[in-house]
C-alpha cells in the first residue's frame, strides 16, 4: 500500500493537531482532576473550598498556558511553511565587468536538479514535523501538581508545579506572589503528620518527586517559612568544623577567617565533611527502648563502634549510608517513643511514609548537638550542591534588596485585567466540572499519583579507607 505525498502531509498535520490537543487536555486534567475527588496527596483543596481569587488565579494560569501553546504551535507551523530563499534575492553583479569566457558560464539547472531540490525540501519539512510531534508528546507526559503551600500567618497559596521545577524555582514564584524580602533563610518544608517528622527541602531538589511518595490518605503539608539552620554552615562555619573549641573562641571569629574556612572546605577539589563523633541514643528496632552508641560521621555514612572495640577504621560498623535516605527532625519523640530527650533526628528512605523498622531514630543531649549532626549529614549527602544553593540564594537576595532600595516611591498598581473566563463563581465551577467530566473517560491516563512501595535502605560494610572527603 503506497501513500501520495499529500496524504502523508495530511497525516502529519492530523498528528500535530492531536499532539496539541493532548497537551491541552493534560494541562486541564492536571489542574482540574484533583479538585473532583479526595486528594491523593492530602494537600490539595476541593473545588468548592477554593475562594474566588484562587479560581481566578488557576483559570488565568490555564488560559495563559493554552494561549502560549497555541502561539508556539502557530509560529512553528509558519516557520515550516516559509519558502526557501531563492537566488533572486542575491544582489546584482557590479557594473562594468567584462564578459566572462563561455567556459566559465554555468549552464541553467536541469529539471532533474529542480525535482531533486524540491524533494529535499519536502523531506526536511517532514523531518521538522516529526521532531515537533515528538516534542509535543514529551510535553504531554510532564507530570503537574497543584500544591497548597501554607504560610506563617495561616494563609495559603495554590501553585501549579511540574516535575521539572526545582525548589529554588518554586521559591522564586512564591517571592513574586507574597512580595517578601527574599532573604536566604526562606525555605520550603515538608511535614509528615503520621510519623511526626519534618525536614527542609534542598533548593536543588525537584519538588514533585518527594510529594509523589506521599500516600493517598496522607495529611502531610508543605510550609513556606524562614529556617535559620538552612545555610547556617556558610554563615558560621566554625560552629561545624571547629566544634571542639570553646564557644567563646567560635563566637569571636572574624568574618575573614569564616570566609577562608568556607573556601577551604567547599571550594577545593572535594568537599570536606565535618569530623563529628560522639555518643548518641539509638532507638532499638520495633521497641521503645534506647541504647547508647559511639557514632562517627564519614563521607559515605554514619558508623558506630561496637562494644569492646577501638575507634580504628577496621573496627567500625556501618550504621547507615546516605545514598537512599533523607534526614528529618523528629517531633514529640519523648512522648511517642519514651526517648531520653526531645532533640531527635531521623534517617529514613523517602518512600517510607508509615511506621517501619527501617526508620532510624537518634537522640542528642541538646539542640546544638542535634543541629551539628543534621548539618554534617546534609554536607556529606549533598556536597557542593549546598554551596551552590547558598550562592544562588545570596544573588537573589542581593537583586531583591537593590530593587527595593532603588524604589523611591511605591509604584502605582495598575488595575487588574479581567480574566478571560466566565463571570461568576457558580458559572466558573460549572464550566470546570463540565470540562473534567468530558475527560472522565481518559482519567486513567493521568492517574500518575500511585502509592509507592516501601523500600528498605541498603547498607554496605565500611570501606577500608574512611576519609572525610566526598565528591
| pLDDT greater than 70 at residue 3 | no
Per-residue confidence band for 52, with pLDDT thresholds at 50, 70 and 90: low
Distance CA 36, CA 428 (A): 14
* pLDDT mean over 338-367: 93
Element at 295 (helix H, strand E): strand 290-297
Q: Are 309 and 317 in contact (CB under 8 A)?
A: no
Q: Are 381 and 202 in contact (CB under 8 A)?
A: no
| pLDDT greater than 50 at residue 105 | no
Q: Are 376 and 361 in contact (CB under 8 A)?
A: no
- Comparing CA positions, the residue from 151, 163, 219 lying closest to residue 189 is 151
Cβ neighbour number for residue 209 with a 10 Å cutoff: 11
Cell of 244: 571542639
CA distance to 115, 124, 309, 387, per residue, from 111 (Å): 6, 20, 90, 64
CA atoms within a 13 Å half-sphere pointing along the CA-CB vector of 370: 21
Quick one: fold of 144-226?
Answer: Ubiquitin-like (UB roll) (3.10.20)
Residue with cell 560552629: 239
What are the tens digits of pLDDT across the range 224-277? 999 999 999 999 999 999 998 888 888 889 999 999 999 999 998 889 999 999
| pLDDT greater than 90 at residue 416 | no
Cβ neighbour number for residue 346 with a 10 Å cutoff: 24
What pLDDT shows up at residue 405? Answer: 73
Q: What does the domain layout of the chain look like in residue ranges?
A: 5-81+116-140, 144-226, 232-387
Q: Are 265 and 250 in contact (CB under 8 A)?
A: no
Cell of 100: 566572462
More reliable by pLDDT, 142 or 395: 395
Whole-number percent of the chain with pLDDT over 70: 61
CA distance to 185, 188, 224, per residue, from 200 (Å): 11, 6, 10
CATH 2.30.29.30 fits 232-387, yes or no: yes
- Please give the mean pLDDT across all residues of the chain: 75
Distance CA 57, CA 3 (A): 48
Cβ neighbour number for residue 113 with a 10 Å cutoff: 10
More reliable by pLDDT, 88 or 304: 304
Task: Looking at mean pLDDT, say which of 43-57, 80-94, 240-254, 397-411 comes out highest.
Answer: 240-254
Residue with cell 517531633: 331
Which segment of 163-167, 247-251, 383-387 scores lowest on mean pLDDT?
247-251
Sign of CA dihedral 254, 258, 260, 264: positive
| pLDDT greater than 80 at residue 332 | yes
Amino acid at each position: 500500500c503506497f501513500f501520495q505525498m499529500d496524504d502523508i502531509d495530511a497525516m502529519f498535520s492530523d498528528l500535530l493537531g492531536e499532539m496539541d490537543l493532548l497537551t491541552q487536555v493534560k494541562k486541564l486534567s492536571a489542574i482540574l482532576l484533583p479538585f473532583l475527588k479526595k486528594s491523593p496527596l492530602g494537600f490539595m483543596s476541593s473545588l468548592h473550598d477554593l475562594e474566588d481569587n484562587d479560581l481566578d488565579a488557576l483559570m488565568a494560569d490555564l488560559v495563559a498556558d493554552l494561549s502560549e501553546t497555541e502561539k508556539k504551535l502557530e509560529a512553528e507551523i509558519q516557520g515550516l511553511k516559509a519558502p526557501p530563499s531563492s537566488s533572486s534575492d542575491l544582489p546584482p553583479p557590479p557594473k562594468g565587468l567584462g564578459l566572462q569566457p563561455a567556459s566559465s558560464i554555468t549552464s541553467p539547472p536541469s529539471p532533474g536538479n529542480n525535482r531533486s531540490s524540491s524533494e529535499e525540501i519536502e523531506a526536511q519539512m517532514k523531518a521538522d514535523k516529526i521532531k515537533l510531534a515528538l516534542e509535543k508528546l514529551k510535553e504531554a507526559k510532564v507530570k503537574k501538581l497543584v500544591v497548597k503551600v501554607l504560610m506563617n500567618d495561616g494563609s495559603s497559596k495554590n501553585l501549579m508545579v511540574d516535575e521539572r521545577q526545582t525548589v529554588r524555582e518554586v521559591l522564586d514564584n512564591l517571592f513574586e506572589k507574597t512580595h517578601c524580602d527574599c532573604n536566604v533563610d526562606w525555605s520550603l518544608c515538608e511535614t509528615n503528620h503520621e510519623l511526626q517528622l519534618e525536614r527542609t527541602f534542598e533548593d536543588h531538589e525537584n519538588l514533585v518527586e518527594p510529594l509523589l511518595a506521599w500516600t493517598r490518605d496522607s495529611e502531610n503539608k508543605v510550609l513556606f517559612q524562614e529556617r535559620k539552620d538552612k545555610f547556617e554552615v556558610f554563615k558560621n562555619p566554625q560552629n561545624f568544623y571547629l566544634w571542639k573549641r570553646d564557644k567563646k573562641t567560635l563566637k569571636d571569629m572574624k568574618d575573614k577567617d569564616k570566609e577562608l574556612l568556607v573556601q577551604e572546605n567547599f571550594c577545593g577539589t572535594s568537599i570536606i565533611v565535618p569530623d563529628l563523633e560522639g555518643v548518641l541514643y539509638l532507638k532499638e528496632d520495633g521497641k521503645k527502648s534506647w541504647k547508647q552508641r559511639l557514632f562517627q560521621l564519614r563521607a559515605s555514612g554514619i558508623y558506630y563502634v561496637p562494644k569492646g572495640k577501638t575507634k580504628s577504621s577496621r573496627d567500625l560498623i556501618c550504621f547507615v549510608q546516605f545514598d537512599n535516605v533523607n534526614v528529618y527532625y523528629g517531633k514529640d519523640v519523648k512522648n511517642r517513643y519514651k526517648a531520653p530527650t526531645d532533640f531527635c533526628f531521623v534517617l529514613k528512605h523517602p518512600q517510607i511514609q508509615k511506621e517501619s523498622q527501617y526508620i532510624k531514630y537518634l537522640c542528642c543531649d541538646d539542640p546544638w548537638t542535634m543541629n551539628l549532626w543534621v548539618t554534617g549529614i546534609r554536607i556529606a549527602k549533598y556536597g557542593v550542591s549546598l554551596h551552590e544553593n547558598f550562592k544562588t540564594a545570596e544573588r537573589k537576595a542581593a537583586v531583591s534588596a537593590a530593587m527595593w532600595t532603588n524604589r523611591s516611591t511605591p509604584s502605582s498598581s495598575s488595575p487588574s485585567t479581567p480574566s478571560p473566563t466566565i463571570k461568576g463563581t457558580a458559572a466558573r465551577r460549572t464550566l470546570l466540572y463540565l470540562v473534567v467530566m468530558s475527560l472522565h473517560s481518559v482519567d486513567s491516563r493521568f492517574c500518575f499519583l500511585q502509592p509507592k512501595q516501601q523500600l528498605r535502605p541498603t547498607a554496605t560494610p565500611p570501606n577500608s579507607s574512611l576519609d572525610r572527603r566526598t565528591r
